[in-house]
């Protein structure tokens, strides 16, 4: 796939959470990815924000990869401590070259309470903070997301269009785009049948239509490729096929 197209697609460790950082970067690099979205918890490849950024940068460079976006630790009911940790993680994200950070909280009131102090604290870092819809979290439905957007009421906080999790909540990507509009600064893509992740092109989600629509709106950001198939042993093969599918079907929408 041409470098211009590869540069729009980002690998996610949610596809292979059992792999450590070096292993997953090597595997995704062999497939053809050049960008990676990192976590700070949950998966084995999670970045240690108390460690040295240079260690993570060296791992990425060994495999011709770079960090594009990073999930921050969530705001909890211990507001001051968790806010400080989220800010620390954002500073770490800046140090490893990521441009987008995913701001999270354990409740919608905590999203709203801590968004402004977080935005104020990281404003000079030049990052793009986004909130993410995700089934099973405080931002599951359209109404959940709308409540938090309206409550934050700050143009510095952007949005992530999480296509798969909207689909799992019974929300189409068209409805998601209508709500989020020009706030969209990152898109996660997945193909699904119902709530089950399937190989790209075998599900119910019109991914070419999504990319065509987003291109028409002027979106030129990243697409994070996600996959949590039932036959997990085939994930790497399916990821390679996903890049081929996206390159073949969506090339004209990725310029």
pLDDT at 126: 98
Q: What are phi and psi of 14, to 5 degrees?
A: -60, -20
pLDDT at 187: 98
- The CATH architecture annotation of domain 3-253 reads Alpha-Beta Barrel (3.20)
Q: What are phi and psi of 198, to 5 degrees?
A: -135, 165
pLDDT at 6: 72
Helix spans in the chain (H) = 3-6, 21-31, 53-62, 79-95, 108-122, 142-152, 163-168, 173-180, 207-216, 235-250
pLDDT at 7: 87
Give the CA distances from residue 37 to residues 25, 66, 96, 118, 173, in Å, rounded to whole numbers and listed in that order: 10, 9, 12, 21, 21
pLDDT at 2: 55
Residue 105, SS3? strand
pLDDT at 199: 98
Q: What is the pLDDT of residues 76-127, one digit of tens each?
A: 999 999 999 999 999 999 999 999 999 999 999 999 999 999 999 999 999 9
Q: What is the pTM of this model?
A: 0.97
pLDDT at 3: 53
pLDDT at 1: 53
pLDDT at 73: 98
pLDDT at 4: 52
- Ranges of each domain in the chain: 3-253
Phi-psi region of 62 (alpha: psi -120 to 50; beta: other; left: phi over 0): alpha
- Write b or e for each residue in 150-183: b if 16 or more Cβ atoms lie within 10 A of its Cβ, otherwise e: eebeeeebbbbbbbbbbbbbebebeebbebbeee
Beta-carbon contacts of residue 57 (< 8 Å; ≥ 6 apart)? 96, 97
**Are the CB atoms for 158 and 164 separated by under 8 Å?**
no
Query: Which regions in the chain score pLDDT beneath 70?
Result: 1-5
């Amino acid at each position: 796939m041409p470098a211009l197209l590869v540069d729009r697609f980002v690998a996610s460790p949610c596809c292979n959470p059992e792999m450590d950082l070096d292993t997953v970067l090597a595997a995704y690099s062999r497939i053809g990815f050049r960008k990676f979205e990192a976590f700070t918890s949950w998966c084995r490849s999670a970045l240690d924000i108390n460690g040295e950024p240079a260690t993570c940068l060296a791992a990425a460079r060994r495999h011709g990869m770079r960090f594009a976006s990073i999930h921050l630790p969530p705001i909890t009911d211990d507001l001051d401590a968790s806010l400080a940790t989220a800010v620390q993680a954002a500073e770490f994200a800046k140090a490893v070259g990521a441009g987008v950070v995913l701001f999270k909280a354990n409740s919608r009131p905590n999203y709203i309470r801590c968004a402004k102090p977080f935005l104020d604290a990281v404003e000079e870092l030049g990052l793009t903070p986004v909130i993410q819809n995700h089934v099973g979290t405080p931002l599951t439905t359209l109404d959940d997301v709308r409540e938090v957007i309206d409550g934050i009421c700050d143009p510095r906080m952007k949005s992530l269009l999480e296509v798969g999790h909207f689909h799992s909540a019974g929300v189409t990507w068209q409805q998601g785009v209508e709500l989020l509009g020009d706030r969209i600064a990152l898109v996660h893509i997945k193909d699904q049948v119902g709530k089950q992740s399937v190989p790209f092109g075998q599900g119910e989600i019109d991914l070419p239509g999504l990319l065509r629509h987003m291109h028409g709106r002027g979106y030129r950001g990243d697409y994070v490729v996600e996959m949590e198939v039932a036959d997990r042993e085939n994930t790497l093969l399916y990821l390679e096929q996903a890049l081929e599918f996206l390159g073949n079907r969506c090339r004209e929408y990725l310029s």
